[in-house]
Amino acid sequence: MTETMETTDTTGSRGSRLLGVVTLLGLATLLLFAFALTEPDVRLHPTTGQEIGQFDAVRLLYLHVPLAVFTYVAFVLCAVASAGYLVKRTAWFDTMAYAAAEVGTVFCGLVLVTGSIWGRPVWNTWWEWGDVRLMTTLVLFLMFTGYLALRRATVDPRASARRGAVVALVAVLDLPIVNRSVEWWENRTLHQKSTLGELKIQDLTLFTLMLGFLVLGLVLAWLLLHRFRVGWLEREDAGHGVATAIAERRADIDEGDVDAAVGEGA
Partner 1 sequence: MSRFFADARLVAAKDLRIEARSRVLLNQVAPFALLVLVLFGFALDADQRTLRAFAPGLFWVAVLFCALLAIQRSVSVEQADGALTGLRLSGMSPAALFVGKASAVFVQLVVLEVLLTAGIIVLYGSEVEQPLLVVATGLLAAVAVACTGTLYGALASGLGVRETLLPILLLPVLAPVLIGATRAFDDALGNAAVDGWAWLGLLAVFAVVATAGGALAHGALVDE
From 135, 71, 81, 76, select the one nearest 103 (Cα to Cα): 71
Q: Judged by CB under 8 A, does residue 153 bind partner 1?
A: yes
Q: How far is the CB of 166 from partner 1 (least distance, A)?
A: 5
* Encoded amino acid at 107, one letter: F
Q: How far is the CB of 197 from partner 1 (least distance, A)?
A: 30
Q: How far is the CB of 148 from partner 1 (least distance, A)?
A: 10
From 58, 83, 236, select the one nearest 157 (Cα to Cα): 236
How many residues contact partner 1, by CB under 8 A? 31
Specify whether the CB–CB gap between 130 and 185 falls below 8 A: yes
Distances (CA, A) of 228 to 22, 81, 108, 188, 258: 19, 12, 19, 39, 39
Where in 73-92 is the site for partner 1 (CB under 8 A)?
86
Specify whether the CB–CB gap between 136 and 249 falls below 8 A: no
- x/- mask, partner 1, residues 172-201, rule CB under 8 A, reads -xx--xx-xxx-xx----------------
Specify whether the CB–CB gap between 141 and 108 falls below 8 A: yes
Nearer to partner 1, 60 or 143 (CB): 143
- Per CB under 8 A, residues contacting partner 1 are 86, 139, 142-143, 145-147, 149-150, 153-154, 156, 158-159, 162-163, 165-167, 169-171, 173-174, 177-178, 180-182, 184-185
